């Protein structure tokens, strides 16, 4: 199955939300548009505090 872009959704995000003019929108690459919309940000790496929480919630058990 071939993946397709949601062009109406992308156009709404670019022109309505970001305030781009049509020529500005169409001059962008999809990657640039995603960057402008903040969609390039992935999940934050696991920090010490979260690791400590997970370690407390799921301690290693020694099997004998």
Instruction: Decide if 31 is inside a domain.
Output: yes
Instruction: Decide if 50 is inside a domain.
Output: no
Domain that holds residue 5: 1-41
Helix (H, G, I), strand (E, B) or coil at 22: helix
Overall domain count for the chain: 1
Instruction: Decide if 21 is inside a domain.
Output: yes
Query: 28 near 14, Cβ under 8 Å?
Result: yes
Quick check: 64 pLDDT over 70?
no
Q: Is the pTM of this model over 0.85?
A: no
Query: 33 near 13, Cβ under 8 Å?
Result: yes
Task: Return the pLDDT at 15.
Answer: 93
Residues whose CB falls within 8 Å of the CB of residue 19, separated by 6 or more in sequence, listed in order: none
24-37 per-position pLDDT tens digit: 999 998 888 888 88
Query: 14 near 25, Cβ under 8 Å?
Result: yes
Instruction: Decide if 63 is inside a domain.
Output: no
């Amino acid at each position: 199955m071939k993946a397709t872009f949601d062009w109406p959704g992308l156009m709404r995000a670019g022109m309505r939300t970001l305030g781009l003019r049509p020529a500005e929108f169409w001059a962008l690459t999809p990657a640039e548009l995603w960057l402008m919309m903040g969609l390039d940000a992935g999940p934050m790496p696991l920090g010490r505090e979260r690791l400590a929480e997970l370690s407390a919630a799921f301690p290693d058990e020694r099997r004998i």
